[in-house]
Every structure is written in structure tokens, then in C-alpha cells.
Structure 1
Amino acid sequence: MRALTLRLYEDRLPAGCLPVFLPALPRALYVAEGSLTVEGPDDGQWLATGTARVSQQPATLLAEDTDVRIWRWELDAATGTAGTALPSAPSTSTTLKLEADITLDPRFDWLMRCDEVGFPPGGVALTHVHQGPGIRICASGEIAIETQGQRHVHAPGEAWFELGPAPVLAPTTEAASTRFVRCFLLPRAVKGRSSIRYVRPEDADAPKVQTYRVFAERDIDLPA
């Protein structure tokens, strides 16, 4: 098994700040507020609020005339250390929201997916598993995660880790709709397919209220 660390950062780029340079790593970038352009060695992409990009190439972040808030997931070797700031970008600020040690089976080829899950008020994700681990962050509303004998409630801006094969029950608040954004690692055979599997047969056939929006998924090489 390959020992790795998945980290979620929140970056704040002030309007018009100088370009920010990021090294090559499997990475997902989601724009929570504002907009920016992301340049890679072979392409460029403009990201508006509520959109994302997945790549493992070096990236240059180009802010525009408004402040930008980004959620940035990075997969690194387990021996790597969490940075406290974006490289050579003193006008920006970075907060490490969550990090999790993970193990991936090297017999599989892997991909990174960034997507969004939404619920109406009082919606629930019935007891389920996924095909790989990942970190989620609540964007709006409130969600409870019940897994491995524990229950934690997450408000907007709060992140949590899901192992993947550990069953999860996830009810949401009845006071408002709920939405979370996630980045997780999946075998490449899951590309373009749902990764969710329901634990109880009766739940597999029950009506589902959650909605999904896949922003991006890319094949990745595991960090050495």
C-alpha cells in the first residue's frame, strides 16, 4: 500500500495580487468566492465562483480585480510537510483546513475527482460507502456525519475526512438546503461513474434526494 497525505487548504488572494506559482502535485482547486485564471504548461482555464479544476501539473494563479477565496486539495507523499503559505506570495493568506493520512493500493491506477453534493432541507445520504478516501467541506447548510461509532456535525467552512470503505450515514438540517464540495481518490475504472454503494439492500432501491455535480476528474500519478 502507498502511504500518502491528502490536505485541504483555504487560500485568500487579494484583488490584483501578483501571480501565484504552485508546484506539480495532484491538486484540485475550487473557487468559493470570486474568480481567477489558472495557467498550466499546456493550457489555461478561467474559474468562476462554484467551479473547479483538477490537474497534477504546475499551476499559475492569476487573480482579477476582486478578492478570491479558494479551496485547494493536494495529494503529497506522507513524508511531506504542510506549508503555511503559498510559495512566494506574501500578500495572500493560507489556512490548513484538514489533513489526512491515506493508503492507496498501488495495484490500481488512480484518479482525482472534485464534485459537489446538494440536499434539500432534511435530506439524508443513506448508509453508504465509496470506492476511495477523500476530504469534504460544507459550503452551506449543515450536515451530520455518522461513521465508525461517532457523530460529528459540520457547518459552512468545516471539513471532514471519509475513509471510503467505512459506512457513512449523513443526515442534513431541516432548516435549510445543504451543499458540500469534496475531493476524493478513486480507481480509474470509476471514471465517469458514481462511486457510491449502499450498505443495506433496501436503501439501494429507496428514493434519493441528493444531487451531484462533477466539476472535474483527472488521472493522476501517485507521488513518490
Structure 2
Amino acid sequence: MHLHLFEDTLTDGQTVSFGETAGRAIYVTAGEVSLNGVVHPRDEGFVTDGPVTLVAGAEGASLWRWDLSEDAPVDAPHHSARKLSGEVPANLAAPGHFLRLDSVSFPPAGTAMLHTHQGPGIRCLREGGIRIDTGGSSAAFGPGGAWFESGPDPVFAQADHALESRFIRAMVLPDALRGKSSIHYVNAEDRAKPKSQTYRNFGEIGLNL
């Protein structure tokens, strides 16, 4: 099973349909879309599963869409571009797990101290800048940049020193973490320190396997 991140660009009033999936998360980067008559505006996100049909607003819409599925489409429709994919282990792509969509925000010079998570996910930077250190390597990302984190591999994150920074994230996690933080700080001395990052949960949905 893989988690895939797509960028969808819809024209004004366009209707698009997406097929079966074990879990889906959608974040609206511009414009608005409606699903079953419910409007989702810019900077909002939601989760769903199975086939869905979206209708773009009068000014069109741009989306980041995470799909959890066996394989990505070989030929994506013209309004979609795949940004990144990452493997979800079989023991996590299983009953008793869910897909979460949230955002993580940092003040200028904010950090996420060395940490792990209980499941994999794909992040995409919405604004600002961030450096991700993991596995002995370091990578910097600007707006629209996406990266995959496996979960158990320790990560240190350093946000831009001059700008507020924020990324949008979809993760696969055990049901025991519904409504709870997934982060675990590697160093005991970091666990009691004040944390600079703040979170917003857009939604969680059990896997439809």
C-alpha cells in the first residue's frame, strides 16, 4: 500500500471524480470545492474514502490530495499531477488504523526537536521554509515542497528564521491515537521543554480496506 500526494487544478465550475481508495485527504490551496453540497473553501481540509465527486467554485480550485491505495494511476487526468508517494507498511495499512489530515505551524526560528511518529505520512509546505534533518541527511523545502517521513526514523525540523512556516500533513496512525498527538521525543530532556509548533486537525477517518 502507498500514500500518494497529488496536486489538482480545476477550472471554474469543473466537476471531477476520484475513484476507490482506502483513505483520502484533501486540502484546498486556492478557490473552493463542494462535496455533496458542502462547500470547502481555501485553507480548509477534509477526509473521506471511496469514490468522490467534487465541483469547483466559480473561480476554480487548486487542491492537495492524498490517496492511500495499492497503486497510483498510470495516466493521471490532465488536471492532476503526482507530487510524491511513500510506502505504508502492511501492518499499518490494516484494520485498526486511520488517516489524519492536519497542519503544523511554526513561528520564526521554531523547531521540532528530535522526534518520531507511530506511522508514515507525507508533508507539504504551505508557507515559509523548513529544513528537515533525518537519516544523516538534510533537505530544505519552500512553499509547495513535499517530503515523506516513515514514522520510526528520528527527525529534527528547523523552520525559517525570519518567517512563520506551516505544512499540511496526512499520516496513517493506529486507532489508539485518534484525537491525540502522534509525536514522541527521542531525548527525555526534550519532553518537558516548551514546544514551538502548533497544530490544527482537519479530520480523521478509519481505513476502508
TM-score category, normalised to shorter length: over 0.9
Q: Which runs of 5+ in 1 are unaligned?
A: 87-91
Q: 2:20 aligns with which of 24, 49, 63?
A: 24
Structure-1 separation of matches of 2:74 and 2:140: 27
Structure-1 separation of matches of 2:157 and 2:89: 24
Structure-2 separation of matches of 1:21 and 1:137: 23
RMSD: 1.4
For 1:161-187, what per-residue CA distance to the aligned partner results, in whole angstroms no more than 9, with x for missing partners?
A: 000011100001112010000000000
Q: Could you say which residue in structure 1 is the equivalent of 2:55?
A: 62
Q: TM-score, normalised by structure 2?
A: 0.94
Q: Could you say which residue in structure 1 is the equivalent of 2:79?
A: 93
Q: Could you say which residue in structure 1 is the equivalent of 2:180?
A: 193
Structure-1 separation of matches of 2:3 and 2:135: 20
Q: 2:32 aligns with which of 22, 32, 35?
A: 35
Q: State how many pairs are aligned.
A: 207
Q: 1:177 aligns with which of 164, 178, 197?
A: 164
Q: Is the 8 A contact 1:11 1:70 kept in 2?
A: yes
Letter in 1 for 2:60: D
Is 1:151 the counterpart of 2:124? The answer is no
Structure-1 separation of matches of 2:84 and 2:66: 10
With 55-64 and 157-166 compared, the bigger mean Cα shift is at: 55-64
Identity %: 39
Q: Is the 8 A contact 2:4 2:72 kept in 1?
A: no
- Per-residue deviation at 1:214? 0.2
Q: Which runs of 5+ in 2 are unaligned?
A: none
Q: 1:8 aligns with which of 5, 10, 34?
A: 5
Q: Could you say which residue in structure 2 is the equivalent of 1:89?
A: none
Is 1:121 the counterpart of 2:102? The answer is no
Structure-1 separation of matches of 2:10 and 2:95: 36
- Report SS of the residue matched to 1:67: strand
Q: TM-score, normalised by structure 1?
A: 0.88
Q: Is the 8 A contact 1:143 1:173 kept in 2?
A: yes
Structure-2 separation of matches of 1:15 and 1:83: 26
For 1:28-71, what per-residue CA distance to the aligned partner results, in whole angstroms no more than 9, with x for missing partners?
A: 011011111013xxxx5321111111111221101110021000
Structure-1 separation of matches of 2:88 and 2:18: 22
